[in-house]
Amino acid sequence: MNFNLLKEHQMLIKLYEEFTEKEVKPWAEEIDETETFPVNTLEKLKRYGFMGIPFPKKYGGAGGDILSYILAVETLSKACATTGVVVSAHTSLCGAPIFEFGSEEQKLKYLVPLASGEKLGAFALTEANAGTDAAAQQTVAVKDGDNYIINGSKIFITNAGIADIYVIMAMTDKSQGTRGISAFIVEADTPGFTIGKKEAKMGIRGSSTCELIFENCIIPKENLIGKEGKGFSIAMKTLDGGRIGIAAQALGIAQGALDETVNYVKERRQFGKPLSYFQNTQFQLAEMKTKIEAARMLVYKAAYLKESNLPYANEAAMAKLYASETAMEVTTKAVQLHGGYGYTREYPVERMMRDAKITEIYEGTSEVQKMVIAANLLK
Amino acid sequence: MNKGVWVFIEQREGEVQKVSLELLGKGRQLADQLSTKLTALLMGENVAQAAQELIYRGADEVIVVEDSLLNVYITEPYTKVMSCLIEERRPEIILIGATAIGRDLAPRVSARVHTGLTADCTSLEIEDETQNLLMTRPAFGGNIMATIICPDFRPQMSTVRPGVMVELDIDTTRKGEIINIKPSLVKEDINVEILEIVKEKKQKVKIEEANVLISGGRGLGKIDGFEILNQLASELGGMVSGSRAVVDAGWIDRDYQVGQTGKTVRPNLYFACGISGAIQHVAGMEESELIIAINKNTEAPIFEVADVGIVGDVHKVIPALIEELKSLKK
Ligand SMILES: Cc1cc2nc3c(=O)[nH]c(=O)nc-3n(C[C@H](O)[C@H](O)[C@H](O)COP(=O)(O)OP(=O)(O)OC[C@H]3O[C@@H](n4cnc5c(N)ncnc54)[C@H](O)[C@@H]3O)c2cc1C
Ligand SMILES: Cc1cc2nc3c(=O)[nH]c(=O)nc-3n(C[C@H](O)[C@H](O)[C@H](O)COP(=O)(O)OP(=O)(O)OC[C@H]3O[C@@H](n4cnc5c(N)ncnc54)[C@H](O)[C@@H]3O)c2cc1C
């Protein structure tokens, strides 16, 4: 058993940190304030090979392992949770299912531009009436000769409107229930496919979250991923992987907030002493640090299991549950330790607190993670 | 000793308002109980032609006061004429419709002749022993019914809520006296100058208050789809509303959005036209009395809450519906 990161991972972290400091942190406040997608950052992420870290070089990726990718999401999220989720949704939710379940043709046609960063990806499962109950899909895909005709809508889709390639779920056979759901690849400019209104959100405000609308949207049958009826299983497996990404995002948010707080309490003085002198401050920081470290171990372990082709769904659920709840707790404490200043938008911790909340909700709520963990425990 | 029941006849552009006819109905009853006369007081310019109908509707006599200064309702000249007539003729009871005009006029008159006034009554009775008028009105937002009497002063004045009393049918065999009076009004009595009278085109009702709502969704296809909804709405005397999708698309204003983040509505009749029935929409309208859904998709979840479901194209179903409604009206 070895808890040290490999040399190559340590080097990667250095690289990610430099990039984050230079290209991400300076824009974090602005994209939150103006709710604009970080287009310029995306250009740079693409140039530095952030968009396909875990995919083989032959598919346009960087040929890294899962942990290399997870470390990237964590580091980016320390400064800007929006940038973290743009990369995570793109990689884990769009690139990964095509890589894991797509045909060779699909990989060449779609994964290559995704992994090289030439195109941006999104994943669409959630509907107005199918959130946690993801099997209650109402979007339908009807086979018509060499095509499928898609009708329906999706909500809350990350990267929507900016993405070029979407992995979507639709019912091909309602009578089969979850076995009647299929996964498809839809290109952004397909006729009959439009983007609805952008949601106004509490946090990760630079990330674009919109509705997708399909009105007699015709796609070729070659865009079916795997077999008909396999969609639900593809979606669930995709989310298992995605959860490690969100756990890494939560971990980064928490670490970022702790770093800010440590600096702050050393500078700010009250009663003639720095805040860091008070034992309450010290104990709060100690708890924050301990929880972050525990979360980190869970996240890295899940990444390791996935990399090693071992079962990891349970560990991914635990990592996401614990890391996101830690992020919420740590950011709340960070605001408290900043006092009144922490409540103002001059300091980044209030943004981090707003960003932290979504990690307990998307890619399966905390409650869903508990269902997964409990089901494993009691089986 | 005061005697007689008076009803102030409210006219607008020479047309007698319905509430005044209702008050004549009630006034007839009160006058009979008190064995006294029912008088209609009609003021304005060129309004005398309405007097005969007032007799047919129950009045024993009509006092017609005509003057160009009474052309449109203005507080001072109307108050002056009415107060003078009261002092001269001493009626026992005066009923005035609780309209914008009535609510303005009645307190002015009551203060000038120094008597009691009960506003916005919903029930009027004569007390057997004392012969006093029992004036009952809802108070505190309708939570308390107060019965008020005016024992020491006369006349007993009351404004009455429109719609609660019942008008009498026209009875052309009824006879009565028409008394024309020339008022002593001077220019100085006009202390207010009316610059302009604006008639609003049908008041903008809020969708929460509509009895009938014709709601459109993305299934209308484009903004023009609202034309047929407007037609249906005018046919049924309702309003148009929509889902968030059509608001987002800019087809209608945000004020008209039904649902969790829009308005919660509870009309007697709700038409869902080309609306899928997402839970966020349904949450805002499921309490409607009768829900009629038109959607071309049999699987649309809106059919789970609809009382009547029509599977079909809105652009075919609604025009057919409008035709049918028109022919029924003929
Ligand atoms: C910013 C943002 C980005 C998103 N990005 C994407 C995306 O890219 N792609 C995508 O497909 N989706 C995306 N989503 C959707 C997200 O995954 C869902 O919002 C989430 O899964 C929860 O579904 P819901 O919102 O419908 O909540 P609901 O399912 O309505 O749940 C509401 C509450 O009830 C609880 N609950 C529900 N069922 C149970 C149960 N059986 N037992 C106990 N508790 C229960 C939930 O845990 C939650 O607390 C995104 C959402 C947001 C807000
Ligand atoms: C945060 C949030 C809040 C929301 N709040 C609300 C809210 O307050 N109110 C609200 O309404 N929505 C709300 N929504 C949106 C909701 O989830 C749905 O997206 C929306 O209600 C869908 O509108 P729709 O039914 O008009 O469109 P769609 O879901 O696209 O449905 C169109 C329907 O029309 C049918 N159709 C198509 N063509 C025809 C035709 N020619 N003839 C007949 N039928 C046809 C189709 O079969 C389909 O069922 C909210 C969403 C979010 C994310």
- pLDDT of B202 above 60: no
- Which CATH fold topology does A122-229 show? Butyryl-CoA Dehydrogenase, subunit A; domain 2 (2.40.110)
Chain B CB within 8 Å of residue A236 CB: no
pLDDT at residue B1 in the model: 78
CB atoms within 10 A of CB B155: 26
Q: A209: Cβ below 6 Å to ligand 1?
A: yes
Q: B274: Cβ below 6 Å to ligand 2?
A: yes
Cβ contact B245–A196 (<8 Å): yes
Mean pLDDT of A298-327: 97
A330-360 burial: b if 16+ Cβ within 10 Å, else e: bbbbbbbbbeeebeeeebbbbbbbbbbbbbb
Chain centroid to Cα B10, Å, comes to: 13
pLDDT at residue B204 in the model: 60
Mutate: best of B254, B257, B261, B276, partner A, most A CBs <10 A: B276
Lowest model confidence (mean pLDDT) among A138-142, B205-209, B279-283? B205-209
| CB nearest A128 (choices: B278, B297, B299) | B278
Q: A367: Cβ below 6 Å to ligand 1?
A: yes
**Secondary structure of chain B as H, E, C letters:** CCCCEEEEECEECCEECHHHHHHHHHHHHHHHHCCCCEEEEEEECCCHHHHHHHHHCCCCEEEEEECHHHCCCCHHHHHHHHHHHHHHHCCCEEEEECCHHHHHHHHHHHHHHCCCEEEEECEEEECCCCCCEEEEEEECCCCEEEEECCCCCCCEEEEECCCCCCCCCCCCCCCCEEEEECCCCCHHHCCCCCCCCCCCCCCCCCHHHCCEEEEECHHHCCHHHHHHHHHHHHHHCCEEEECHHHHHCCCCCHHHEECCCCECCCCCEEEEECCCCCHHHHCCCCCCCEEEEEECCCCCHHHHCCCEEEECCHHHHHHHHHHHHHHHHC
CB atoms within 10 A of CB A303: 27
A327 vs A360: CA distance, rounded Å: 9
B193 vs B196: CA distance, rounded Å: 9
Give phi and psi for A271, each to the nearest 5: 50, 35
B318 vs B114: CA distance, rounded Å: 60
What is the whole-number distance in angstroms between the Cα of residue B293 and the centre of ligand 2?
13
- The pLDDT tens digits for B156-199 are 999 998 878 999 999 999 999 999 999 999 988 998 989 999 88
Q: Which residues of A are catalytically annotated?
A: 363
Cβ contact A213–B248 (<8 Å): no
- pLDDT of B328 above 90: no
Q: Residues of A with CB below 8 A from B278's CB?
A: 128-129
B70 vs B82: CA distance, rounded Å: 12
3-class secondary structure, A88 = helix
pLDDT at residue B163 in the model: 79
- The pLDDT tens digits for A31-56 are 999 999 999 999 999 999 999 999 99
Token look-up 């990726």 returns: A61
A93 vs B222: CA distance, rounded Å: 33
Look up residue A38 and give its two tokens. Answer: 């970080």
- pLDDT of A135 above 70: yes
Give phi and psi for B261, each to the nearest 5: -100, 5
pLDDT at residue B144 in the model: 87
Q: A131: Cβ below 6 Å to ligand 1?
A: yes
Domain chopping of chain A, boundaries = 7-119, 122-229, 232-378
Chain B CB within 8 Å of residue A130 CB: no
Q: Which of the listed residues B243, B256, B263, B297 should we mutate to test ligand 2's pocket, taking the one with most ligand atoms within 8 A of CB?
A: B243
Q: Which helix (H) or strand (E) holds A283?
A: helix A279-307
CB atoms within 10 A of CB B170: 12
Q: Which helix (H) or strand (E) holds A327?
A: helix A313-338
Q: Residues of A with CB below 8 A from B244's CB?
A: 197
pLDDT band at B205 (very low <50, low <70, confident <90, very high): low
Mutate: best of B254, B279, B302, B304, partner A, most A CBs <10 A: B279
A348 preceded by cis ω (within 30°)? no
Classify burial at B18, counting beta carbons within 10 Å of its beta carbon; exposed 0-12, middle 13-18, buried 19 or more.
middle
pLDDT band at B201 (very low <50, low <70, confident <90, very high): low
Q: B275: Cβ below 6 Å to ligand 2?
A: yes
| Contact criterion met (CB below 8 Å) for A106 and A225 | yes
- The pLDDT tens digits for B281-302 are 999 999 999 999 999 999 999 9
- pLDDT of B139 above 90: no
| CB nearest B248 (choices: A140, A174, A197) | A197
To the nearest whole angstrom, how far is the Cα of B201 from the nearest Cα of chain A?
34
User: Which residue from B303, B80, B109, B321 is spatially nearest to B188, judged by alpha carbons?
Assistant: B80
| CB nearest B279 (choices: A129, A151, A215) | A129
What number does the ligand 2 atom closest to the CA of B221 have? 38
What is chain A's Cα-based Rg? Answer: 21
B77 vs B81: CA distance, rounded Å: 6
Q: ipTM of this complex > 0.85? A: no
What is the whole-number distance in angstroms between the Cα of residue A268 and the centre of ligand 1?
40
A46 vs B147: CA distance, rounded Å: 81
Ligand with an atom nearest the CA of residue B277: 2
pLDDT band at A178 (very low <50, low <70, confident <90, very high): very high
Q: A167: Cβ below 6 Å to ligand 1?
A: no
- pLDDT of A81 above 80: yes
Look up residue B315 and give its two tokens. Answer: 């652009």
- Which CATH fold topology does A232-378 show? Butyryl-CoA Dehydrogenase, subunit A; domain 3 (1.20.140)
- The pLDDT tens digits for A209-267 are 999 999 999 999 999 999 999 999 999 999 999 999 999 999 999 999 999 999 999 99
pLDDT band at A3 (very low <50, low <70, confident <90, very high): confident
| CB nearest A129 (choices: B244, B248, B301) | B301
In chain B, what is the greatest distance between 2 CA atoms, to the nearest angstrom?
77
| Contact criterion met (CB below 8 Å) for A172 and A229 | yes
Ligand with an atom nearest the CA of residue A214: 2
Ligand 2 atom 3: residue of nearest CA: B261
User: Which residues, other chains included, contact A171 with Cβ-Cβ below 8 Å and sequence gap of 6+?
Assistant: A137, A138, A139, A140, A141, A180, A181, A182
Q: Which of the listed residues B207, B208, B215, B218 should we mutate to test ligand 2's pocket, taking the one with most ligand atoms within 8 A of CB?
A: B218
- pLDDT of A305 above 60: yes
- pLDDT of B203 above 70: no
- Which CATH fold topology does A7-119 show? Butyryl-Coa Dehydrogenase, subunit A; domain 1 (1.10.540)
- The pLDDT tens digits for B8-46 are 999 999 999 999 999 999 999 999 999 999 999 999 999
Find the residue in A nearest to B280 (Cα).
Answer: A128
Q: B315: Cβ below 6 Å to ligand 2?
A: yes
Question: Do the two domains A7-119 and A232-378 of this chain adopt the same fold?
Answer: no
